[in-house]
Amino acid sequence: MVIVLAISFVTVLALVLAVVKIIRKIGPTGERLPVTAEWIDELSIERYKPMLRLLDAGDFEALRARNGYSSRVAAKLRAERCVIFRGYLRCLNADFRRVCMALKILMVQSEQDRPDLAAALIRHQIVFRWGMLMIYARMLLFRWGNCTVDVSSMVRTFDMMRLELRSLVPSTAQGFA
Protein backbone atom coordinates (compact mmCIF):
# COMPACT_ATOMS: atom_id res chain seq x y z
CA MET A 1 0.00 0.00 0.00
CA VAL A 2 2.79 2.41 0.91
CA ILE A 3 4.65 1.59 -2.31
CA VAL A 4 1.54 2.27 -4.40
CA LEU A 5 1.09 5.65 -2.70
CA ALA A 6 4.76 6.50 -3.18
CA ILE A 7 4.65 5.58 -6.87
CA SER A 8 1.43 7.57 -7.33
CA PHE A 9 2.95 10.58 -5.59
CA VAL A 10 6.10 10.47 -7.73
CA THR A 11 4.05 10.08 -10.91
CA VAL A 12 1.79 13.02 -10.08
CA LEU A 13 4.80 15.13 -9.11
CA ALA A 14 6.53 14.29 -12.40
CA LEU A 15 3.39 15.22 -14.38
CA VAL A 16 3.01 18.51 -12.53
CA LEU A 17 6.66 19.38 -13.15
CA ALA A 18 6.30 18.51 -16.84
CA VAL A 19 3.22 20.73 -17.19
CA VAL A 20 4.97 23.60 -15.38
CA LYS A 21 7.98 23.25 -17.68
CA ILE A 22 5.78 23.32 -20.78
CA ILE A 23 3.81 26.32 -19.52
CA ARG A 24 7.03 28.20 -18.76
CA LYS A 25 8.32 27.37 -22.24
CA ILE A 26 5.22 28.72 -23.95
CA GLY A 27 4.84 31.68 -21.60
CA PRO A 28 5.64 35.30 -22.42
CA THR A 29 9.15 36.64 -22.92
CA GLY A 30 10.51 40.17 -22.72
CA GLU A 31 11.29 40.68 -26.40
CA ARG A 32 10.83 43.82 -28.51
CA LEU A 33 8.09 44.00 -31.14
CA PRO A 34 8.67 45.86 -34.41
CA VAL A 35 4.95 46.06 -35.18
CA THR A 36 4.50 47.35 -38.69
CA ALA A 37 2.21 46.24 -41.49
CA GLU A 38 5.21 44.60 -43.17
CA TRP A 39 6.14 42.70 -40.00
CA ILE A 40 2.59 41.40 -39.64
CA ASP A 41 2.49 40.36 -43.30
CA GLU A 42 5.72 38.39 -42.78
CA LEU A 43 3.90 36.31 -40.14
CA SER A 44 2.13 34.37 -42.86
CA ILE A 45 0.76 30.92 -42.09
CA GLU A 46 2.48 29.72 -45.26
CA ARG A 47 5.61 28.98 -43.23
CA TYR A 48 3.62 26.43 -41.20
CA LYS A 49 2.18 24.45 -44.12
CA PRO A 50 4.97 21.81 -44.02
CA MET A 51 4.20 21.35 -40.34
CA LEU A 52 0.64 20.30 -41.13
CA ARG A 53 1.86 17.18 -42.95
CA LEU A 54 5.07 16.45 -41.08
CA LEU A 55 3.54 13.92 -38.68
CA ASP A 56 1.02 12.52 -41.15
CA ALA A 57 0.28 8.84 -40.58
CA GLY A 58 -0.01 8.26 -44.33
CA ASP A 59 3.75 8.54 -44.77
CA PHE A 60 4.31 5.82 -42.22
CA GLU A 61 1.68 3.58 -43.77
CA ALA A 62 3.41 3.96 -47.15
CA LEU A 63 6.74 3.16 -45.51
CA ARG A 64 5.26 0.08 -43.87
CA ALA A 65 4.01 -1.14 -47.28
CA ARG A 66 7.48 -1.02 -48.83
CA ASN A 67 9.82 -3.97 -49.04
CA GLY A 68 12.49 -3.94 -46.39
CA TYR A 69 10.32 -2.12 -43.86
CA SER A 70 11.89 -2.02 -40.42
CA SER A 71 10.16 -0.83 -37.27
CA ARG A 72 13.53 0.54 -36.17
CA VAL A 73 13.73 2.74 -39.27
CA ALA A 74 10.15 3.92 -38.71
CA ALA A 75 10.94 4.76 -35.07
CA LYS A 76 14.00 6.75 -36.15
CA LEU A 77 11.95 8.62 -38.75
CA ARG A 78 9.28 9.39 -36.15
CA ALA A 79 11.93 10.74 -33.77
CA GLU A 80 13.54 12.89 -36.47
CA ARG A 81 10.20 14.30 -37.56
CA CYS A 82 9.28 15.07 -33.96
CA VAL A 83 12.46 17.13 -33.59
CA ILE A 84 11.61 19.12 -36.73
CA PHE A 85 7.99 19.44 -35.62
CA ARG A 86 9.07 20.81 -32.22
CA GLY A 87 11.05 23.50 -34.05
CA TYR A 88 7.94 24.52 -35.97
CA LEU A 89 5.94 24.50 -32.72
CA ARG A 90 8.47 26.82 -31.07
CA CYS A 91 8.22 29.22 -34.01
CA LEU A 92 4.42 29.08 -34.04
CA ASN A 93 4.31 29.69 -30.30
CA ALA A 94 6.76 32.60 -30.54
CA ASP A 95 4.78 34.18 -33.41
CA PHE A 96 1.52 33.73 -31.51
CA ARG A 97 3.02 35.35 -28.38
CA ARG A 98 4.32 38.28 -30.44
CA VAL A 99 0.93 38.85 -32.05
CA CYS A 100 -0.82 38.69 -28.66
CA MET A 101 1.68 41.09 -27.11
CA ALA A 102 1.24 43.50 -30.03
CA LEU A 103 -2.55 43.33 -29.60
CA LYS A 104 -2.19 44.06 -25.88
CA ILE A 105 0.02 47.05 -26.60
CA LEU A 106 -2.43 48.36 -29.19
CA MET A 107 -5.32 47.97 -26.73
CA VAL A 108 -3.44 49.87 -24.04
CA GLN A 109 -2.50 52.66 -26.44
CA SER A 110 -5.94 52.86 -28.04
CA GLU A 111 -8.29 55.73 -27.33
CA GLN A 112 -11.25 53.34 -27.49
CA ASP A 113 -11.97 50.50 -25.12
CA ARG A 114 -12.24 47.14 -26.84
CA PRO A 115 -13.68 44.67 -24.33
CA ASP A 116 -14.64 42.38 -27.21
CA LEU A 117 -11.02 42.23 -28.39
CA ALA A 118 -9.75 41.73 -24.84
CA ALA A 119 -12.16 38.85 -24.29
CA ALA A 120 -11.27 37.28 -27.64
CA LEU A 121 -7.57 37.65 -26.88
CA ILE A 122 -7.88 35.93 -23.51
CA ARG A 123 -10.05 33.18 -24.98
CA HIS A 124 -7.63 32.54 -27.85
CA GLN A 125 -4.63 32.53 -25.52
CA ILE A 126 -6.28 29.91 -23.32
CA VAL A 127 -7.30 27.80 -26.32
CA PHE A 128 -3.81 28.11 -27.82
CA ARG A 129 -2.01 27.14 -24.60
CA TRP A 130 -4.33 24.20 -24.00
CA GLY A 131 -3.84 23.16 -27.61
CA MET A 132 -0.06 23.31 -27.19
CA LEU A 133 -0.25 21.06 -24.15
CA MET A 134 -2.42 18.59 -26.05
CA ILE A 135 -0.07 18.64 -29.05
CA TYR A 136 2.94 17.90 -26.85
CA ALA A 137 1.05 15.01 -25.27
CA ARG A 138 -0.04 13.66 -28.66
CA MET A 139 3.50 14.06 -29.97
CA LEU A 140 4.72 11.84 -27.16
CA LEU A 141 2.19 9.20 -28.20
CA PHE A 142 3.11 9.71 -31.86
CA ARG A 143 6.73 8.82 -31.09
CA TRP A 144 5.48 5.42 -29.96
CA GLY A 145 3.26 5.08 -33.03
CA ASN A 146 0.00 5.40 -31.09
CA CYS A 147 -1.68 8.49 -32.53
CA THR A 148 -1.55 11.34 -35.02
CA VAL A 149 -0.97 15.03 -34.38
CA ASP A 150 -3.15 17.67 -36.03
CA VAL A 151 -2.09 21.30 -35.63
CA SER A 152 -4.47 22.85 -38.14
CA SER A 153 -6.66 24.36 -35.41
CA MET A 154 -3.58 25.92 -33.78
CA VAL A 155 -2.49 27.46 -37.08
CA ARG A 156 -6.04 28.78 -37.62
CA THR A 157 -6.05 30.34 -34.14
CA PHE A 158 -2.73 32.02 -34.86
CA ASP A 159 -4.01 33.26 -38.22
CA MET A 160 -7.19 34.71 -36.67
CA MET A 161 -5.12 36.68 -34.17
CA ARG A 162 -2.69 37.78 -36.90
CA LEU A 163 -5.56 39.01 -39.09
CA GLU A 164 -7.09 40.85 -36.13
CA LEU A 165 -3.77 42.57 -35.50
CA ARG A 166 -3.41 43.36 -39.19
CA SER A 167 -6.82 45.02 -39.22
CA LEU A 168 -5.76 47.29 -36.35
CA VAL A 169 -2.40 48.38 -37.79
CA PRO A 170 -2.62 50.82 -40.69
CA SER A 171 -0.32 50.25 -43.67
CA THR A 172 1.73 53.34 -42.83
CA ALA A 173 2.15 52.56 -39.11
CA GLN A 174 5.56 52.99 -37.53
CA GLY A 175 6.92 50.15 -35.39
CA PHE A 176 6.81 50.30 -31.59
CA ALA A 177 8.66 48.51 -28.86
Whether 27 maps to a domain, the answer reads no
The predicted-structure confidence for 90-133, as pLDDT tens digits, reads as follows 999 989 998 898 888 888 888 888 888 889 999 999 999 999 99
Task: Find the domain containing 98 and state its range.
Answer: 32-168
Q: What is the average pLDDT across 54-83? A: 82
Whether 16 maps to a domain, the answer reads no
Whether 10 maps to a domain, the answer reads no
| Planar angle of CA 103, 128, 46, nearest 5 degrees | 75
The predicted-structure confidence for 19-65, as pLDDT tens digits, reads as follows 777 766 655 555 555 556 567 767 788 889 888 888 887 777 777 78
Q: What is the average pLDDT across 139-165? A: 87
Overall number of domains in the chain:
1
| Alpha helices (H) along 26-48 | 37-42
The per-residue pLDDT for 177 is 44
Whether 47 maps to a domain, the answer reads yes
Give CA–CA dist 48/115, Å, rounded.
Answer: 30
Whether 174 maps to a domain, the answer reads no
Indicate whether this model's pTM tops 0.75.
Answer: no
Whether 129 maps to a domain, the answer reads yes
